[in-house]
Protein backbone atom coordinates (compact mmCIF):
# COMPACT_ATOMS: atom_id res chain seq x y z
CA UNK A 1 0.00 0.00 0.00
CA UNK A 2 1.15 3.51 -0.78
CA UNK A 3 1.03 4.66 2.85
CA UNK A 4 3.19 1.77 4.03
CA UNK A 5 5.73 2.43 1.28
CA UNK A 6 5.77 6.11 2.23
CA UNK A 7 6.54 5.10 5.81
CA UNK A 8 9.36 2.80 4.72
CA UNK A 9 10.78 5.56 2.51
CA UNK A 10 10.63 8.04 5.39
CA UNK A 11 12.35 5.63 7.79
CA UNK A 12 15.29 5.06 5.47
CA UNK A 13 15.51 8.69 4.39
CA UNK A 14 15.85 9.53 8.08
CA UNK A 15 18.94 7.35 8.49
CA UNK A 16 20.60 8.01 5.11
CA UNK A 17 23.17 10.28 6.75
CA UNK A 18 24.00 7.58 9.26
CA UNK A 19 24.61 5.04 6.50
CA UNK A 20 26.96 7.51 4.83
CA UNK A 21 28.82 8.14 8.08
CA UNK A 22 29.10 4.44 9.00
CA UNK A 23 29.74 3.15 5.47
CA UNK A 24 32.93 1.29 6.43
CA UNK A 25 31.47 -0.62 9.37
CA UNK A 26 28.17 -1.50 7.67
CA UNK A 27 30.15 -2.92 4.76
CA UNK A 28 32.23 -5.13 7.05
CA UNK A 29 28.99 -6.46 8.55
CA UNK A 30 27.32 -7.54 5.34
CA UNK A 31 30.15 -8.51 2.96
CA UNK A 32 29.77 -12.31 3.46
CA UNK A 33 26.14 -12.10 2.38
CA UNK A 34 26.92 -9.94 -0.66
CA UNK A 35 29.67 -12.36 -1.70
CA UNK A 36 27.44 -15.40 -1.30
CA UNK A 37 24.58 -13.74 -3.23
CA UNK A 38 26.89 -13.03 -6.14
CA UNK A 39 28.09 -16.63 -6.07
CA UNK A 40 24.69 -18.36 -6.05
CA UNK A 41 23.42 -15.95 -8.72
CA UNK A 42 26.41 -16.90 -10.87
CA UNK A 43 27.26 -13.29 -11.63
CA UNK A 44 30.03 -12.84 -14.17
CA UNK A 45 31.49 -10.54 -16.84
CA UNK A 46 29.15 -8.77 -19.21
CA UNK A 47 25.92 -9.52 -17.35
CA UNK A 48 23.03 -7.15 -16.71
CA UNK A 49 22.01 -7.05 -13.05
CA UNK A 50 19.06 -5.46 -11.23
CA UNK A 51 19.53 -4.71 -7.52
CA UNK A 52 16.25 -3.98 -5.72
CA UNK A 53 16.54 -1.94 -2.52
CA UNK A 54 20.19 -1.09 -3.11
CA UNK A 55 20.53 1.56 -0.39
CA UNK A 56 24.00 3.17 -0.51
CA UNK A 57 25.14 0.65 -3.11
CA UNK A 58 25.54 -2.78 -1.54
CA UNK A 59 25.79 -5.26 -3.14
CA UNK A 60 25.37 -3.11 -6.28
CA UNK A 61 28.95 -1.90 -6.35
CA UNK A 62 30.49 -5.30 -5.63
CA UNK A 63 28.38 -6.74 -8.44
CA UNK A 64 29.49 -3.96 -10.79
CA UNK A 65 33.10 -4.99 -10.24
CA UNK A 66 32.20 -8.59 -11.10
CA UNK A 67 30.32 -7.82 -14.34
CA UNK A 68 33.06 -5.48 -15.53
CA UNK A 69 32.78 -2.51 -17.88
CA UNK A 70 30.89 -4.50 -20.51
CA UNK A 71 28.12 -5.33 -18.06
CA UNK A 72 25.40 -3.11 -16.62
CA UNK A 73 24.01 -2.77 -13.12
CA UNK A 74 20.86 -0.90 -12.12
CA UNK A 75 20.20 -0.23 -8.44
CA UNK A 76 16.79 1.02 -7.34
CA UNK A 77 15.71 2.24 -3.93
CA UNK A 78 12.90 4.27 -2.38
CA UNK A 79 15.23 6.66 -0.54
CA UNK A 80 16.88 9.25 -2.79
CA UNK A 81 19.26 10.34 -0.03
CA UNK A 82 20.66 6.80 0.18
CA UNK A 83 21.20 6.80 -3.58
CA UNK A 84 23.18 10.05 -3.41
CA UNK A 85 25.85 8.21 -1.43
CA UNK A 86 25.65 5.21 -3.77
CA UNK A 87 26.33 7.44 -6.80
CA UNK A 88 29.25 9.11 -5.05
CA UNK A 89 30.77 5.73 -4.18
CA UNK A 90 30.36 4.49 -7.77
CA UNK A 91 32.06 7.60 -9.14
CA UNK A 92 34.96 7.23 -6.69
CA UNK A 93 35.45 3.65 -7.87
CA UNK A 94 35.23 4.56 -11.56
CA UNK A 95 32.18 2.33 -12.08
CA UNK A 96 30.54 4.17 -14.98
CA UNK A 97 28.37 1.17 -15.91
CA UNK A 98 26.27 1.48 -12.72
CA UNK A 99 23.04 3.46 -12.62
CA UNK A 100 20.93 4.32 -9.59
CA UNK A 101 17.26 5.27 -9.70
CA UNK A 102 14.79 6.31 -7.00
CA UNK A 103 12.02 3.83 -7.72
CA UNK A 104 9.59 1.34 -6.20
CA UNK A 105 9.93 -2.22 -7.48
CA UNK A 106 6.12 -2.44 -7.65
CA UNK A 107 5.84 0.49 -10.07
CA UNK A 108 9.31 0.92 -11.62
CA UNK A 109 9.68 0.85 -15.40
CA UNK A 110 11.64 -2.40 -15.69
CA UNK A 111 12.09 -3.70 -19.26
CA UNK A 112 10.81 -7.24 -19.83
CA UNK A 113 13.76 -9.58 -20.22
CA UNK A 114 16.14 -6.72 -19.59
CA UNK A 115 18.32 -8.42 -16.97
CA UNK A 116 20.28 -11.63 -16.51
CA UNK A 117 20.19 -11.46 -12.71
CA UNK A 118 17.91 -9.84 -10.10
CA UNK A 119 18.98 -9.29 -6.49
CA UNK A 120 17.11 -8.16 -3.40
CA UNK A 121 19.20 -7.94 -0.24
CA UNK A 122 17.21 -7.05 2.91
CA UNK A 123 14.61 -5.24 0.81
CA UNK A 124 11.68 -7.56 0.07
CA UNK A 125 10.94 -7.95 3.78
CA UNK A 126 9.84 -4.29 3.74
CA UNK A 127 7.58 -4.72 0.69
CA UNK A 128 3.85 -4.99 1.41
CA UNK A 129 3.25 -7.04 -1.77
CA UNK A 130 6.04 -9.60 -1.99
CA UNK A 131 4.28 -11.75 -4.64
CA UNK A 132 3.80 -8.67 -6.79
CA UNK A 133 7.44 -7.63 -6.38
CA UNK A 134 8.73 -11.09 -7.28
CA UNK A 135 6.41 -11.28 -10.29
CA UNK A 136 7.82 -7.99 -11.60
CA UNK A 137 11.40 -9.15 -10.96
CA UNK A 138 10.71 -12.40 -12.80
CA UNK A 139 9.25 -10.52 -15.76
CA UNK A 140 12.40 -8.36 -15.88
CA UNK A 141 14.63 -11.46 -16.23
CA UNK A 142 15.58 -13.28 -19.40
CA UNK A 143 14.35 -16.91 -19.59
CA UNK A 144 16.56 -18.87 -17.23
CA UNK A 145 17.76 -15.69 -15.52
CA UNK A 146 18.82 -15.97 -11.88
CA UNK A 147 17.43 -14.38 -8.76
CA UNK A 148 18.88 -14.17 -5.25
CA UNK A 149 16.97 -12.60 -2.35
CA UNK A 150 17.97 -12.23 1.28
CA UNK A 151 16.44 -11.20 4.59
CA UNK A 152 17.24 -11.57 8.26
CA UNK A 153 16.99 -14.92 10.02
CA UNK A 154 14.62 -15.11 13.04
CA UNK A 155 15.08 -12.71 15.97
CA UNK A 156 16.90 -15.20 18.21
CA UNK A 157 19.71 -15.33 15.64
CA UNK A 158 20.11 -11.54 15.55
CA UNK A 159 20.83 -10.06 19.00
CA UNK A 160 22.46 -7.04 17.35
CA UNK A 161 18.96 -5.78 16.48
CA UNK A 162 16.78 -7.57 19.02
CA UNK A 163 18.64 -6.37 22.13
CA UNK A 164 18.30 -2.64 21.28
CA UNK A 165 14.68 -3.20 20.20
CA UNK A 166 13.79 -4.96 23.45
CA UNK A 167 15.33 -2.20 25.54
CA UNK A 168 13.58 0.51 23.54
CA UNK A 169 10.21 -1.20 24.05
CA UNK A 170 10.70 -0.84 27.80
CA UNK A 171 10.16 2.90 27.36
CA UNK A 172 8.26 3.20 24.05
CA UNK A 173 6.06 1.01 21.86
CA UNK A 174 8.05 -0.32 18.90
CA UNK A 175 5.85 -1.72 16.13
CA UNK A 176 6.94 -3.63 13.06
CA UNK A 177 9.41 -6.17 14.46
CA UNK A 178 7.18 -9.24 14.29
CA UNK A 179 7.32 -11.61 11.33
CA UNK A 180 3.68 -11.14 10.31
CA UNK A 181 4.10 -8.07 8.12
CA UNK A 182 6.63 -5.74 6.51
CA UNK A 183 9.69 -5.28 8.70
CA UNK A 184 13.14 -6.75 9.33
CA UNK A 185 11.85 -10.18 10.39
CA UNK A 186 9.19 -10.66 7.74
CA UNK A 187 9.91 -13.93 5.85
CA UNK A 188 12.65 -14.75 8.38
CA UNK A 189 11.57 -18.36 9.01
CA UNK A 190 13.56 -21.15 7.42
CA UNK A 191 12.14 -21.83 3.96
CA UNK A 192 9.92 -18.74 3.79
CA UNK A 193 11.93 -17.00 1.07
CA UNK A 194 12.16 -20.20 -0.95
CA UNK A 195 8.40 -20.70 -0.78
CA UNK A 196 7.88 -17.14 -1.98
CA UNK A 197 10.15 -17.78 -4.98
CA UNK A 198 8.37 -21.03 -5.82
CA UNK A 199 4.98 -19.36 -5.60
CA UNK A 200 6.22 -16.70 -8.03
CA UNK A 201 7.16 -19.37 -10.57
CA UNK A 202 10.91 -19.61 -10.03
CA UNK A 203 12.58 -23.01 -10.43
CA UNK A 204 15.60 -24.83 -8.97
CA UNK A 205 14.98 -22.91 -5.74
CA UNK A 206 17.26 -23.34 -2.73
CA UNK A 207 17.64 -21.60 0.62
CA UNK A 208 20.31 -21.41 3.30
CA UNK A 209 21.37 -19.34 6.29
CA UNK A 210 24.45 -17.12 6.07
CA UNK A 211 26.40 -16.36 9.24
CA UNK A 212 27.48 -12.76 9.80
CA UNK A 213 29.35 -10.89 12.53
CA UNK A 214 28.54 -7.32 13.58
CA UNK A 215 31.80 -5.57 14.54
CA UNK A 216 32.19 -2.57 16.83
CA UNK A 217 35.14 -1.26 18.81
CA UNK A 218 33.01 -1.00 21.92
CA UNK A 219 29.40 -0.92 23.03
CA UNK A 220 29.17 2.86 22.80
CA UNK A 221 30.23 2.80 19.15
CA UNK A 222 27.76 0.00 18.46
CA UNK A 223 24.90 1.94 20.05
CA UNK A 224 25.68 5.17 18.20
CA UNK A 225 25.99 3.34 14.89
CA UNK A 226 22.81 1.31 15.39
CA UNK A 227 20.80 4.34 16.42
CA UNK A 228 21.95 6.15 13.26
CA UNK A 229 21.47 3.37 10.68
CA UNK A 230 18.59 1.17 11.91
CA UNK A 231 15.68 2.42 9.81
CA UNK A 232 12.87 0.63 11.70
CA UNK A 233 14.11 2.06 15.01
CA UNK A 234 14.56 5.62 13.75
CA UNK A 235 11.07 7.06 14.44
CA UNK A 236 10.93 5.75 18.00
CA UNK A 237 14.52 6.73 18.81
CA UNK A 238 13.77 10.27 17.67
CA UNK A 239 10.94 10.46 20.18
CA UNK A 240 13.01 9.44 23.23
CA UNK A 241 14.06 11.97 25.81
CA UNK A 242 17.74 12.30 26.66
CA UNK A 243 17.17 10.39 29.90
CA UNK A 244 15.37 7.59 28.08
CA UNK A 245 18.15 7.30 25.50
CA UNK A 246 20.74 7.03 28.28
CA UNK A 247 18.68 4.34 29.99
CA UNK A 248 18.38 2.33 26.79
CA UNK A 249 22.05 2.74 25.91
CA UNK A 250 23.19 1.59 29.35
CA UNK A 251 20.97 -1.49 29.23
CA UNK A 252 22.12 -2.40 25.70
CA UNK A 253 25.76 -1.97 26.73
CA UNK A 254 25.38 -4.36 29.65
CA UNK A 255 23.55 -7.03 27.63
CA UNK A 256 25.97 -6.98 24.71
CA UNK A 257 29.09 -7.23 26.84
CA UNK A 258 28.91 -11.04 26.57
CA UNK A 259 29.96 -10.68 22.94
CA UNK A 260 33.23 -8.96 23.82
CA UNK A 261 36.27 -10.47 22.15
CA UNK A 262 39.31 -8.87 23.70
CA UNK A 263 39.06 -5.15 23.05
CA UNK A 264 36.23 -5.32 20.47
CA UNK A 265 32.66 -6.57 20.12
CA UNK A 266 31.76 -9.29 17.62
CA UNK A 267 28.00 -9.70 17.80
CA UNK A 268 26.57 -12.73 15.97
CA UNK A 269 23.98 -12.38 13.23
CA UNK A 270 22.38 -14.55 10.59
CA UNK A 271 20.64 -13.88 7.29
CA UNK A 272 18.41 -16.01 5.11
CA UNK A 273 19.34 -16.41 1.44
CA UNK A 274 17.24 -18.00 -1.29
CA UNK A 275 17.87 -18.27 -5.01
CA UNK A 276 16.49 -19.81 -8.18
CA UNK A 277 15.93 -19.45 -11.93
CA UNK A 278 13.19 -17.78 -13.95
Name the pLDDT band for 32 (thresholds 50, 70, 90): very high
Q: Is residue 20 part of a domain?
A: yes
Helix, strand, coil percent values for the chain (each to nearest 5) = 45, 25, 30
**Rounded CA gap, 237 and 172, in Å?**
9
Number of domains in the chain: 1
pLDDT confidence of residue 222: 92
pLDDT digits (tens, 9 = 90+) for 105-137: 999 999 999 999 999 999 999 998 999 999 999
Pairwise CA distance, residues 178 & 186, whole Å: 7
Q: With beta carbons less than 8 A apart as the criterion, state whether 147 and 275 touch.
A: yes
Confidence grade of residue 161 (pLDDT, cut at 50, 70, 90): very high
**Any domain includes 160:** no
Rounded to an integer, what distance in angstroms lies between the CA atom of residue 149 and that of residue 246? 37
- Whether 194 is in a domain gets the answer yes
CA distance linking residue 147 with residue 141, whole number of Å = 9
Let me know if residue 191 belongs to a domain: yes
The answer to whether residues 76 and 53 touch, using CB atoms and an 8 Å cutoff, is yes
CATH code of the domain covering residue 126: 3.40.50.150
Read off φ and ψ for residue 59, nearest 5 degrees.
-90, 20
Residue 137 maps to a domain? yes
In a domain, 259, yes or no: no
Q: Give how far the C-alpha of residue 90 lies from the chain's centroid of Cα atoms, to the nearest Å.
A: 18
The answer to whether residue 260 is domain-embedded is: no
Alpha helices in 120-180 (DSSP H): 130-140, 159-169
pLDDT band for position 36 (cuts 50, 70, 90): very high
The CA distance from 262 to 255, in Å, is: 16
Q: What is the pLDDT of residue 1?
A: 53
Question: How many CB atoms are closer than 10 A to CB 162?
Answer: 18
What per-residue confidence (pLDDT) applies to 87? Answer: 97
Give the model confidence (pLDDT) of 227-240 as tens digits: 888 877 877 888 88
The residue that leads in pLDDT, 48 or 27, is 48
State the residue range of the domain holding 59.
Answer: 2-155+176-215+270-277
Q: Is the peptide bond before 59 cis (omega within 30 degrees of 0)?
A: yes
Assessment of whether the complete model's pTM goes beyond 0.75: yes
Domain membership of residue 43 (yes or no) is yes
pLDDT in tens, 237-277: 888 899 999 999 999 999 999 999 999 999 999 999 999 99
| Neighbour-count burial of 175, counting CB atoms closer than 10 A to its CB (0-12 exposed, 13-18 middle, 19+ buried) | exposed
Confidence grade of residue 3 (pLDDT, cut at 50, 70, 90): low
Amino acid sequence: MANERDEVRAEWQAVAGGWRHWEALTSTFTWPLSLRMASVAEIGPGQRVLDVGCGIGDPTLQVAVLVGPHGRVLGIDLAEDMLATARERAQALGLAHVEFQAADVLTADLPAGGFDVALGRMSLSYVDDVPGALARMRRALVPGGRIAIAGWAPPEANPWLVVPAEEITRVRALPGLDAGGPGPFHLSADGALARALLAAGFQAVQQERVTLSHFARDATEFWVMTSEVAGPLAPVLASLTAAERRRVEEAVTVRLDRFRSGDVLRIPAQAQLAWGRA
